[in-house]
Amino acid sequence: MSNLLKGRRGMSSEKSSTSHHDDSPVAARLPASDEKGVVVDAEFAGADTSGVDPKKVLLKMDLRLIPMLALLYLLSFLDRGNIGNARIEGLTETLNMTGPQYNWT
């Protein structure tokens, strides 16, 4: 017990005697970080990105993502419109649905 108290008193003025070891199981699961504390992926840690234009990368991402998202939005809009038309045309009577059952569709 006295060793524990001595260790606690020593912490205020100097570093703790128990340091973080990189070979511990917890350290193996933690992502690596550089000298600034930024987390880096070990596979791409040494990759040279000096020749990459961020505007070109964003343009490429936009050209691939925005058309897909627009299509999904269009299909969602059509689906919401058609379910309303189906109710008017007798969907609830044909399937013997109650109000709450229709609301779940």
pLDDT, position 101: 85
Q: Whole-prediction pTM value?
A: 0.44
pLDDT, position 58: 93
- Report the amino acid identity of residue 42: A
Contact 31, 45 (CB under 8 A): no
Q: What is the DSSP string of 24-60?
A: SHHHHHSPEE-TTS-EE-GGGTT---TT--HHHHHHH
Contact 32, 45 (CB under 8 A): yes
pLDDT (tens digit, 0 to 9) for every residue of the chain, 105 residues total?
A: 445 444 444 454 444 445 555 555 655 566 666 566 666 666 776 777 788 898 999 999 999 999 999 999 999 999 888 888 888 888 888 888 888 888 887
What residues contact 102, with CB distance under 8 A and at least 6 apart?
A: 87, 91, 92
pLDDT, position 16: 47
